[in-house]
Amino acid sequence: MAEVIWGLATSHVPSIGAAMDRGRTEDPNWKDLFDGYAPAQAWLAEHRPDVAIVVYNDHANGIDLDIVPTFGIGTAERYRVADEGFGQRPVPDVVGDPDLSLHLLESLVDEGFDLTVFQELDVDHGLTVPLSVWTPDPGDAWPCPVVPLLVNVIQYPQPTAARCYALGQALGRAIASYPEDVTVGILGTGGMSHQLAGARAGFINPEFDTMWLDTIGTDPVRLAALSREELIRQAGSEGIELIMWLIMRGAMNEQVARVHSHYFLPASNTAAGIALFDNRVPQPA
């Protein structure tokens, strides 16, 4: 049986990846953000899973905007790093785990989540920046194979927070029914509050982000009750990316232990947050 050992929620701001790629993590503007990651990185280095599931969104880099699946899953052997217009990031391609992908696909379809299947996919900053936050110096390879789980957060109507939490719970059951004895890390990515365009461009809401960071571990059901409109009102039109944290949380146990969290603003136009949870803790009877 496969077991989720940890969940990592993190923002995916492209400039965080660019700062790492250019060796700027000690610059005064960046140092506090990267120092805030260090305790999580140290713990994660001691808890390397056999495979990771990365819940993320593409930003019209790997998938054309003509086709916008609500939920999707990668089933490939390998995912190339997307060129987002400035050349590929100098990070390794992502090795897949087709066996686990196909098991998750079948289980989730059987539970009523009709995922779109990506047999080929280039992965953008939505996936590679969280991998860098986890593993700042990957060398030739990321720490383990990855299954990408895709969510539409960029075009109306995005799935509801409640639907994402339910998908996470079904994902947890799908992982538990995988016959191989493997350990799994799960990443929920995107957020925190931000709005990149329109009348509220630059909007950030630290009160909302703090509430979200405080609540995601202990009471995700409360967050899952927020409507799409309420999320956009409170977190901004791109802050709705936070619904992907609920898929991660839904796949974890009822009780989780917070290992580390950190909040920094702004990174580019975005409030950057990280929250790491240990899933191997005693559960209520």
Could you say whether residue 188 binds ligand DHB (CB under 6 A)? no
Catalytic residue among 103, 194, 260, 262: 194
Residue placing its CB nearer to ligand DHB in the complex, 149 or 182: 149
Q: Work out how close the CB of 265 gets to ligand DHB at its nearest, in angstroms, rounded to a whole number.
A: 10
Given candidates 269, 271, 274, 277, which one binds ligand DHB under the rule CB under 6 A? 269
Nearest Cα residue to 250 out of 229, 269, 224: 224
DSSP letter assigned to residue 79: E
Given candidates 6, 10, 14, 251, which one binds ligand DHB under the rule CB under 6 A? 14
Could you say whether residue 61 binds ligand DHB (CB under 6 A)? no
Please confirm, yes or no, whether 125 is among the known catalytic residues: yes
Could you say whether residue 49 binds ligand DHB (CB under 6 A)? no
Could you say whether residue 17 binds ligand DHB (CB under 6 A)? no
Residue placing its CB nearer to ligand DHB in the complex, 15 or 116: 15
SS (H, E, C) 150-215: EECCCCCCCCCHHHHHHHHHHHHHHHHCCCCCCEEEEEEECCCCCCCCCCCCCCCCHHHHHHHHHH
Could you say whether residue 238 binds ligand DHB (CB under 6 A)? yes
Could you say whether residue 194 binds ligand DHB (CB under 6 A)? yes
- Residue 75's φ and ψ, nearest 5 degrees, are -120, 15
Other beta carbons less than 10 A from residue 207's beta carbon: 9
CA distance 203 to 199: 9
Please confirm, yes or no, whether 194 is among the known catalytic residues: yes
Q: Are strands 257-267 and 122-123 parallel, antiparallel or unpaired?
A: unpaired
Residue placing its CB nearer to ligand DHB in the complex, 132 or 270: 270
Q: Work out how close the CB of 252 gets to ligand DHB at its nearest, in angstroms, rounded to a whole number.
A: 23
Positions in 95-154 near ligand DHB (CB under 6 A): none
Q: Work out how close the CB of 9 gets to ligand DHB at its nearest, in angstroms, rounded to a whole number.
A: 14
User: Which residue number is nearest to ligand DHB in terms of Cβ?
Assistant: 268
Instruction: Give the residues lining the site for ligand DHB (CB under 6 A).
Output: 12-15, 59, 194, 196, 238, 268-270
The residues that are catalytic are: 125, 194
